[in-house]
Amino acid sequence: MLRIVTCGADHHSIIRPILQSIGWDEHYIVAFETLPAQFARQPDRMSGYVGFREGEPVGFVFVEHHLWNGLSQIQGLAVHAAYQRQGIAAELVHKAEQFAISCQARGIYVDTPVTNTGGRRFYEAIGYQLGYIMPRYYENALDGVTYQKFFDA
């Protein structure tokens, strides 16, 4: 069973082992380690969730609501390599969507590298639509792609 808890600033140590297990570069890990504290600061429009299996942290997601356009944004989603394809990310994203809906969001979106085939298949599998490609978004040679889900669709 998956237990999902709201991420607090004290959860910062769960980030590194999960991202190391999926081989992310150190500069991304360092940046993601700042998210628990950052997202705990404004709980009315930012939230994070951590999934635990038998007491072990196995995945996380962060979501931010943008007041200016009424859309929420998934800022980070990862599941430990040993726990993938067990429905954990789908449950975490569901929590993020519930948070977005509680903020009266029109919809939710996420950016990911065009080369992230697994991530793209995941979002397509849970009903997200391809929005647009952003040339050079991550690096000069690495475009981004945005997936969206509108709650009235």
Ligand X SMILES: CC(C)(COP(=O)(O)OP(=O)(O)OC[C@H]1O[C@@H](n2cnc3c(N)ncnc32)[C@H](O)[C@@H]1OP(=O)(O)O)[C@@H](O)C(=O)NCCC(=O)NCCS
Which residues, 83 to 142, sit near ligand X by CB under 6 A?
Answer: 84-90, 110, 112, 116, 118-119, 121-122, 125
Structure tokens at 142: 């690495």
Number of other CB atoms surrounding residue 138 within 10 Å: 16
Comparing CB distances to ligand X, the nearer of 65 and 112 is: 112
Distance of closest approach, residue 63 Cβ to ligand X, in angstroms: 12
Q: Residue 107 to residues 49, 71, 90: CA-CA distances in angstroms?
A: 19, 5, 16
Which residues, 24 to 83, sit near ligand X by CB under 6 A?
Answer: 77-79
Q: Where are the alpha helices (DSSP H) in the chain?
A: 15-21, 26-32, 35-40, 88-102, 117-125
Comparing CB distances to ligand X, the nearer of 15 and 88 is: 88
Structure tokens at 39: 């997202």
Q: How many residues bind ligand X (CB under 6 A)?
A: 19
Pairwise CA distance, residues 49 & 59, whole Å: 8
Distance of closest approach, residue 62 Cβ to ligand X, in angstroms: 10
Pairwise CA distance, residues 93 & 4, whole Å: 11
Structure tokens at 45: 């429009």
Comparing CB distances to ligand X, the nearer of 92 and 104 is: 92
Distance of closest approach, residue 143 Cβ to ligand X, in angstroms: 14
Comparing CB distances to ligand X, the nearer of 70 and 118 is: 118
Q: Which residues bind ligand X (CB under 6 A)?
A: 22, 77-79, 84-90, 110, 112, 116, 118-119, 121-122, 125
